[in-house]
Each structure stands twice: as structure tokens, then as C-alpha cells.
Structure 1
Amino acid sequence: MISIERSLLKRIFIMALVLISLSTFLHQWWFSSVWLNIHQGQLVREAEALKKHLNEEQMDKVSSVKISLPNHSSHIYIVTQRNKVWSSAPDVVRSMPLRAWQNTAGYFEYTGSEGKKFLGLVDILDDEFSIIVIEDISFSSLELTKGHRYLLAISLVAVIFLMYLQRILIVNAFSHLNLLIKEVNMMQRGDAPRLKSSSIKELEPLVGAINQLLGFLEHKSRRNRHAIGNLSHAMKTPLAVIRQVAERDDNGLINSDRDLLLQQAEQLSLIVERELKRARISGPGSKSQVFSVEHVIQDLSGTIKMIYPQKPIFVEVDCATNVVFPGDRSDFIELMGNLLDNAGKWCKSTISVTAKSSESFLLIDIVDDGPGSGLDDPSHLLQRGVRADESEQGHGLGLSIVVDIVDQYGGRVDLSNDDKLGGLRVSLMIPYRQGH
């Protein structure tokens, strides 16, 4: 499952890394250029000052030149004449490659044996004289590197903070969907026929599309029900005529043909009845209404007693007050009607119905004191048309209709042999939607 929040944060993180890398590179390049230009400008000014000093001291008398050190301990001044060298810091200059520098005018960088970094400028005055100004840039270079690192650390902290703010913004933006989810749950429970217009501009097309889809599905479902009902009513008269003709003694049919004709007519009747029941299974819809589960079970219990008046049936109902069916009332009546009819057919005298709600599911158990399935694993009775006793009237569609309804709601049906009453136990587990 794709998470939009994670996807957005991942993309933002990648973009942030790219921007940090680019900005760090540009910062390092720009600041290094500025830093280098500043130091080179300082060397030029020091070299001009040194030349002025040499002019005042009469450069043609080099042997008598005495270089007065300016008050800058970070600069070294060197004057060369052929093989002669005058320096303001002889001990430091002694290890430097002066011969390689004195004949090439321009800037140079040098790293000493102790790791010190120097930046120098060579200015050739004539064929005999050249001056060299060297600056110790170790400290400023270290500070420049620290500045780059500080900038990188600040950028990373800023990105983390921005991602945190971005996550808050994303969560707040998607929180508006919670209102839409609540409205969908209200619509599913029957508290609202349609979704309300969203105050969020971006959600309005989604709300309109959902409402349009609901209208289309309701129209299609209503049209299908009407079509199936019209078809079933249209088939009843021809089927009744077929039965009457087949049962007449003067129809000219031999007994085997008549039995075959009646058998096929019965099959057609079963098919019509099955499709009528299936047409009434609508699943979760927008027209569901809140109703009393206990009252529906009590009403159906009274109906079952009237259907089987030949035996005294006692229906024990244990229904919690907070039980809610997450769907249409007609679906619940169809569901419980099939289960209670099946239990009334097979029971001796007692039917037990238990309905309760957990945090996420509606749980219903129906048990009778009949002979049970007689099977170690009665789950195959959930298949369409399978019956525990072929001698009894019925076509085995009751449990399969129950399975169809429960499947519509994403639930589960389990069959087992009850140890207490001895009959068949039918257990339903139907999930609630979020917001129940």
C-alpha cells in the first residue's frame, strides 16, 4: 500500500539533499573565491609598500638594504638578487624553495613541513631584483573550513526542521479527509443519504464523484430489482400452466415424461425463488437506517413459531443493547430470517440467539437443539444446494443466501456442532466500518 505522506516526505528529503549539496558547493566556491581575493589584495598592498621602502633605501645598494618589518607577524618579506637573499624571517625562509619562485612572477601557495599554509606573491623588478611577500594563511584557512562545516550542519538542521513542519502540514491537510470518512460512515449507517458539500476546494470533486456514483448504483440496483421481480411474476403463470397440464390424466404423456416435466418445472421455480432472494441482497448502502436488532430478532422469532406450529418452539434471545447491524435493515431481516427458519426446521423445541458487539465486529450465534449436521466438519453445508437431510423439504439455499449477505459486508460464517444443545451452531462475524 502506497503512503502519500511517506512518498511526499521522501521526495522532499531527496530534493533537500540535492539543494544542500548544491548550496554547500556554491557556498564553498564563492567564499573561497572571496577569501582568496582578499588575501591576494593584501599581498599586492604589502608588495607595493615593500617596493616603496626599497626605493627609499636605494635599491642599487642592496648590500646596505635593511628591511624594516611592518607590524604584521603573519607576513614575510624577501628580497632576492641573483644568489643573494634578504629575508625578514630567515629561519622560516630557509626551508622554502625560493629559487623556484623568484624567477616566476605571480601568486603561489605553499604548505610547510609543519602543515602550515602560506600564500605568496612574486614581483620581479628587473633582471637582478625580485621581491616576495608571503602570508601565513593557516588560521584563516582553518576558519574558512569551519565555516563550511557550520553551514552544512545548519543546513541539515534546517532541513530536518522543515521536514518536521512539512509533516505537520501534510497531517493537517489530510485531517480534512477524516471529516469525509465520518460522513461516509454516517451515510453507511443511514444517518445521511448523501455526502455533504466539502468546504475544501480540492475535495469537492471527490465528494461530487462519490455522490454521483451512489446515485448511479442506487438507480441500477432499483432497476435490476424491478427487472427480476417482473421476470419472476411473468414466469409464475407459465410455470403454473405447465404444472396443471403435466398433472392432468388426459395430457397424453407417459409417466416418465410427466415426471420429467414436473421436475423441470420445480427446478425453474427454485431458480426464480433463488434469484428473488439474491435480488434483495443489497449490501452496505446509503439507505440503511438505524434499527433495533433485538426487536427484529424478536419479531422473526414470533414468525418462526407461526411457520412451525406443529412443535412448541422457544427462542431464547440474548442481545446486548449496543448491538448495531452495519447495513440495511432488509439485509438483516433476510439474514436472520434464513437462519431462524433453518433452526426452526431442525430444532426440537429450543433455539438460542446471541448477539453482541466487540470493538470491531458484530458477533451473532444461532444454536438449535436439533440432531445437528451429523458431520465432523459441517462447513461444506455452506455450499449452495447442500442439505444435511435430503428427505426434508427445502432446496439448501438458506445458508448460501446467508453466506452471500455476509460476504457483501466482508464478514465470515462458521458452522460447528454445539456441545450444549446438541444441534448446529451458526456463528457470524461481521466487521464494522471505522467510525462505528
Structure 2
Amino acid sequence: MIRSLRLRLMMAAAMLALIFMLALLPALQGAYSLALQDSIEQRLASDVTTMISAARVEDNRLLMPLLLPGEQFNLSDSRLLGYIYNRNGELVWRSRATELAGIDYRPRYDGTGNQFGKIKNANGEEFFVYDVEIKLLGGRNAAFSIVALQPVREYQVIISALREKLYLGFGAALVVLLALLWMGLTWGLKALRGLSQELDQVETGERESLSEEHPLELLRLTGSLNRLLLSEREQRIRYRDSLGDLAHSLKTPLAVLQGVSETMAKRPQDLEQARLLQSQIERMSQQISYQLQRASLRKSGLVRHHVVLRPVVESLCNTLDKVYRDKQVNVCLDLPDGCQVAMEQGALLEMLGNLLENAYRLCLGRIRISLHASLSGDELCVEDDGPGVPESQRARILERGERLDRQNPGQGIGLAVVKDIIESYNARLTLEDSPLGGAAFRIHFQAN
């Protein structure tokens, strides 16, 4: 399937131009052929007139001079042939060149005046023939057929040369036309390229809306896109404000409940209930955080964000190095200079924060973070040398509330948040064994 609009239009225009030229070629060739035959007929009629003007009749006998005014009739190798027949169809005179022509012509003296057509000699060679019936010659009653012939091969040579010139001329004209069409389409589609560039700038965040410097035919489209961008931006602001209000409104009740649980924990008889209450409060807090992250970290429908990866990774690793300073974790960064990830910064921080926190917590001492580019898209990988994840459990731990590590607190929603973030950016998360010995979380970003 051809996806280029310019190439489609170019192919359609080229096809129409080719069909037009192929239809025009036979018409031009036919018109020229008719014109050439008319010219040959007129020339032969003129030659017949030459023979008539030279003929005399005495005692009902035709007399012709040795040399005719038309030099072609006097040459033995002439292409022009002349014959004169009486009323009975008997040959009474012929020009010198007819001796070698081998033509057996029979005139039709039927009162039609003159005839123009084609005949063939014994060898199959074709001739144009012009036959004129004469009843008065030199002022006297006479009945003769004056005939002039000319070989068709000269006509065929001219037509063949014309056909070749037409093909060459039309081919050159088609090439020039296609070049002009390509230039015209390039100029005509310049507006679409400008619109595409502005959309790229909107996606990368360089501009907030499309300009109005476009052709009239595109203004309705750009206006609709600008309204969509504005609506999306306002909706995202409302979502952030609503989520902030929700988080603030829930913060105080949870703090009160936490205080009550701490007070209850001081009474030995209520210690078990206090622990249960604290566990449920923690679970509620994590569930609220999960739902807030799930709602707020969705990818924008039109705007594409790109974040430089290395500074984000280094910042997270510096923080986790302080939390897990007793482990002395060795982190290897295999990241190309200036490499970027097509995500919002908040989403990238949340995703890598969960993956790196798991890697720091479960590793023995080594972590590797790498990014590799390919034709199908970029692949971000976080690996560790920990115990890894059994193949039978890999799908389960990506579900909300599922955990393999029961020795540390948590509700098992970190990887679920990671999965939601990745899927919201049309990316794909796979869990494999790492060459380091532990787990390898691979995030595949689709190529744009």
C-alpha cells in the first residue's frame, strides 16, 4: 500500500497523462496519414495534368512527345510511372520507368471521372494510383484513361519516421510533464508539510497550538485540532486539580485514623486491633496512591513528551543508594549519550522508581540499566543479580496485589502501577532471566 499522498497523486497523474498520450498518438498518426495521402493524390493529379497537356490526337490516334515537360516521366529509374489506355483498356503509351515496374493495370472506364487508390505489382509491391478519364483531348473527341502511379514505400517510410518522432516527442513531453507535475505537487503539498511540522512541534511540547498560516482548505482542520488541544489541556488541568483535592481531602481522615491506631496500640488489650487497623490504613493509603497514579499518569492523546533518561536514572539511584547504603550496590549504566524516552517525566519517575526499588531490595549487589535502539523501537532494560522470578510466577506478579516477597511490607501494587504506565504509552513489558543471574524487566517502546 502506497502511503505517500504525493506519490499517489503523482502516479494517478502519470497514468492519466500516459492514457491521454496513448490515445492521442493514433489520432495524430491517422490525421497525418490522411493529410499525406491527400498530398500524394494532389501530386499525382498534377502529374496526370502534365501528361494531358503534352498529349495530342491526330486521326483518332494519340501522339505523345519523346520528352514530357515533367522530367520524372523521362527517367528510366523514376519513382513516377505514367500510363495511357484507350476506351477498350488497351495500353497506348507508358513512361520509360514502367518497363521495369511489372505492373498489370486494367483501367475501369465507367464514367466516374477520376479514381485514387492502391494496387500491387507481380512482386507484391504496392503503388498509389490516380486514374483520370478523358473524353476531350486537344479540343477533339477522345476517350482515354490517363494513369499516374507512385510507390507506397516512400509513404510508409515517412509514416514510420513520423511514428518514431511522435514516440520520442511524446516520451520527452511525458518526462517534462511528470517533472512539472512533481514540482507542482511538491509546491502544492508544502502546506501539508508545514502542518505536519507544527504537529510535530505540538507533540514535542515546543508549541501549544497550530498557527492560522495555512491555506483556507486546511483552516477548518487546524481549528478543530486547536479546539481539541485546548479541550485536552483543560481536561488534564481539571483532572490534576480534582486529584489534588481528593488526595488532600483523604489525607486528614487517614491521619486521624492513624493517630487512633497509635493510641490503641499503647493499650495491651487493644494491640491486636490496633495492628489490624494500621494494616488496613496502610492498605487504604497505598490503594489511593495507586488509583491516583493510574488516573494521572495517562499519556496525552496528541502531545508526545521526551525525557532525557540518564539524569532521571542517576537521581533515582542516588536516592536509593542512601536507602540501601549497607548493600553497597554497584549500578552499571549502559545508556547512550543524550538518549531519550518518549514519556512524561512524572510517569518515567514512577515507573523507574518502582523497578529500581525492587532491584535494590532484591539484588545481591549488582544492577544494570540499559537502553538499546532498533528498527522496531527502543528497549529499556532493568536487571539485577537477585533470586529472579520463576517463569510460572512472572505473569502473576504483574497483577495488582500479588507479591512474591513476603518478608518486606507492601501490598504488591508497585509492578501493577508500572504495567499500567507502560501500557498507557503503547509500550510492552516483558519479564525474563538476566545474564546477571536475577530478573530482567524489559520495556519495549514502539517506533514512531
Is the shorter-chain TM-score for this pair beyond 0.5, marking a shared fold? yes
Distance 1:263 1:398, change over 3 A: closer
Give deviations 1:34-62, integer Å, cap 9, x for gaps: 222222222333333433333xx236522
Aligned amino acid, residue 147 of structure 2 = V
Q: Write the distance in 1 (CA, Å) between the matches of 2:252 and 2:304.
A: 34
Which residue of the partner structure matches residue 391 of structure 2?
375
Give deviations 1:282-341, integer Å, cap 9, x for gaps: 3267877776533332332344456678x6463625254422233321121122122123
Distance 1:62 1:208, change over 3 A: same
- After TM superposition, give the deviation of residue 203 of structure 1 in Å: 5.9
Alignment map for 1:62-211 (pairs within 5 Å): 62=61, 64=63, 68-69=67-68, 70-72=70-72, 73=78, 74-89=80-95, 91=99, 95-100=103-108, 104-112=112-120, 113-125=123-135, 129-138=143-152, 139-171=154-186, 174=189, 180-195=195-210, 198=213, 207-211=222-226
Counterpart of 1:216 (choices 219, 228, 231) is: 231
Q: Check whether the contact 1:123–1:131 (CA below 8 A) recurs between aligned residues.
A: yes
- After TM superposition, give the deviation of residue 68 of structure 1 in Å: 4.9
Q: Check whether the contact 2:52–2:146 (CA below 8 A) recurs between aligned residues.
A: no
Give deviations 1:116-139, integer Å, cap 9, x for gaps: 322313324279613233231421
Q: Check whether the contact 1:331–1:405 (CA below 8 A) recurs between aligned residues.
A: yes
Distance 1:214 1:101, change over 3 A: farther
Which residue of the partner structure matches residue 404 of structure 2?
388
Counterpart of 1:283 (choices 281, 299, 312) is: 299
Alignment map for 1:253-402 (pairs within 5 Å): 272-283=288-299, 293-304=309-320, 312=327, 314=329, 316=331, 318=333, 319-348=335-364, 350=365, 352-356=367-371, 358=373, 362-375=378-391, 378=394, 381-389=397-405, 393-402=409-418
Distance 1:190 1:305, change over 3 A: same
Q: Check whether the contact 1:381–1:388 (CA below 8 A) recurs between aligned residues.
A: yes
- After TM superposition, give the deviation of residue 66 of structure 1 in Å: 5.3
Q: Check whether the contact 2:400–2:412 (CA below 8 A) recurs between aligned residues.
A: yes
Which residue of the partner structure matches residue 61 of structure 1?
60
**Are 2:28 and 1:18 equivalent residues in the alignment?**
no
- After TM superposition, give the deviation of residue 197 of structure 1 in Å: 5.3
Which TM-score applies when normalising by structure 1? 0.76
Distance 1:405 1:170, change over 3 A: farther
Question: Could you say what the CA RMSD is over the residues aligned between the two structures, in angstroms?
Answer: 4.3
Aligned amino acid, residue 105 of structure 1 = G
- After TM superposition, give the deviation of residue 228 of structure 1 in Å: 4.6
- After TM superposition, give the deviation of residue 93 of structure 1 in Å: 7.5
Q: Check whether the contact 1:410–1:430 (CA below 8 A) recurs between aligned residues.
A: yes
Which residue of the partner structure matches residue 39 of structure 1?
40
Distance 1:148 1:295, change over 3 A: closer
Aligned amino acid, residue 131 of structure 1 = S
Give the secondary-structure state (helix, strand or coil) at the position aligned to 1:58. Answer: strand
Q: Write the distance in 1 (CA, Å) between the matches of 2:125 and 2:279.
A: 107
Q: Write the distance in 1 (CA, Å) between the matches of 2:336 and 2:91.
A: 107
Q: Write the distance in 2 (CA, Å) between the matches of 1:146 and 1:320.
A: 66
Distance 1:427 1:215, change over 3 A: same
- After TM superposition, give the deviation of residue 103 of structure 1 in Å: 5.7
Q: Write the distance in 2 (CA, Å) between the matches of 1:59 and 1:406.
A: 116
Q: Check whether the contact 1:412–1:429 (CA below 8 A) recurs between aligned residues.
A: yes
Q: Write the distance in 1 (CA, Å) between the matches of 2:13 and 2:369.
A: 53
Give the secondary-structure state (helix, strand or coil) at the position aligned to 2:57. Answer: coil
Give the secondary-structure state (helix, strand or coil) at the position aligned to 1:118. Answer: strand
Distance 1:273 1:380, change over 3 A: same
Give the secondary-structure state (helix, strand or coil) at the position aligned to 1:87. Answer: strand
Distance 1:336 1:15, change over 3 A: same
- After TM superposition, give the deviation of residue 234 of structure 1 in Å: 5.6
Q: Check whether the contact 1:81–1:130 (CA below 8 A) recurs between aligned residues.
A: yes
- After TM superposition, give the deviation of residue 417 of structure 1 in Å: 2.5
Q: Write the distance in 1 (CA, Å) between the matches of 2:296 and 2:323.
A: 21
Residue identity (%): 22
Give the secondary-structure state (helix, strand or coil) at the position aligned to 1:98. Answer: coil
Mean CA deviation greater in 11-20 or 363-372: 363-372
How many residues matched? 417
Which residue of the partner structure matches residue 257 of structure 1?
none
Q: Write the distance in 1 (CA, Å) between the matches of 2:347 and 2:62.
A: 117
Q: Write the distance in 2 (CA, Å) between the matches of 1:62 and 1:384.
A: 125
Q: Write the distance in 2 (CA, Å) between the matches of 1:204 and 1:351.
A: 56
Aligned amino acid, residue 42 of structure 2 = G
Give deviations 1:253-274, integer Å, cap 9, x for gaps: xxxxxxx999999887665433
